[in-house]
């Protein structure tokens, strides 16, 4: 009996190319649901501060991995790229998470629309963004160095909505501090992992392996 090569093994597996901001949650779902046939490669979450780089980076990663993986899925929503990700994926015949942002993935389309209809000026946080708020948002956008940037960037925002994937009191406290730094009202909405799990089950586990 011939030995299965590493190349053949990868061809039979599923690769998720995902945003680093979703890594913790996807790994958790992989472990909880024994998705042992799924491999995960994540892009730097700081790309969200430079959305014009997301689509070309995804294109480069697909080119890198499509020779060894028949089935690839992109764990990004549109993420502020104005359809650029979809243009890349249309040419490759690859799917992504539905919706405009991962926030919509976590909480579901209906609830996301409700939150936006309540207040268009809503800035969303997830567990990842709360954990890395200072690095990615406060310092990442230069708010620590240029105080006037807060009004320039967040002047039209009215509130912070923390969509929590875990029920962590420490993270809720940090999210409240983040809202205070941005001088915005605070609202907490628990989302859990159900929305992300449903999308991955529907769109990724359909592949034959």
Ranges under pLDDT 70 in the chain: 1-11, 207-209
Query: How high is the pLDDT of residue 146?
Result: 87
Query: How high is the pLDDT of residue 15?
Result: 96
Q: In sequence order, what are the residues at sequence separation of 6 or more whose Cβ sits closer than 8 angstroms to the Cβ of residue 201?
A: none
CA distance 89 to 155: 34
What DSSP state is assigned to residue 4? P
Domains defined along the chain, listed by start: 6-100+194-203 (3.40.50), 109-190 (no CATH)
Tens-digit pLDDT profile for residues 21-32 = 999 999 999 999
| pTM for this prediction | 0.86
Q: In sequence order, what are the residues at sequence separation of 6 or more whose Cβ sits closer than 8 angstroms to the Cβ of residue 157?
A: 121, 122, 123, 182, 184
Tens-digit pLDDT profile for residues 116-154 = 999 999 999 999 999 999 999 999 889 988 888 888 999
Query: How high is the pLDDT of residue 4?
Result: 47
């Amino acid at each position: 009996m011939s030995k299965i090569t590493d190349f053949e093994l990868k061809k039979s597996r599923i690769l998720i190319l995902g945003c680093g901001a979703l890594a913790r949650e996807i790994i958790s779902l992989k472990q909880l649901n024994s998705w042992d046939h799924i491999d995960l490669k994540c892009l730097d979450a700081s790309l969200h501060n430079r959305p014009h780089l997301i689509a070309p980076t995804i294109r480069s990663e697909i080119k890198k991995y499509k020779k060894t993986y028949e089935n690839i899925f992109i764990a990004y929503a549109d993420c502020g790229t104005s359809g650029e990700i979809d243009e890349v994926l249309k040419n490759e015949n690859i799917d992504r998470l539905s919706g405009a942002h991962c926030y919509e993935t976590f909480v579901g389309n209906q609830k996301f629309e409700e939150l936006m209809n309540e207040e268009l000026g809503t800035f969303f946080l997830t567990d990842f963004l709360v954990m890395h708020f200072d690095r990615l948002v406060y310092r990442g956008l230069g708010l620590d160095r240029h105080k006037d940037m807060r009004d320039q960037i967040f002047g039209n925002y009215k509130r912070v909505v923390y969509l929590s994937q875990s029920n962590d009191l420490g993270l809720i406290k940090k999210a409240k501090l983040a809202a205070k730094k941005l001088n915005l009202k605070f609202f907490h909405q628990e989302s859990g992992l159900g929305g992300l799990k449903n999308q991955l089950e529907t769109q990724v586990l359909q592949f034959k392996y």
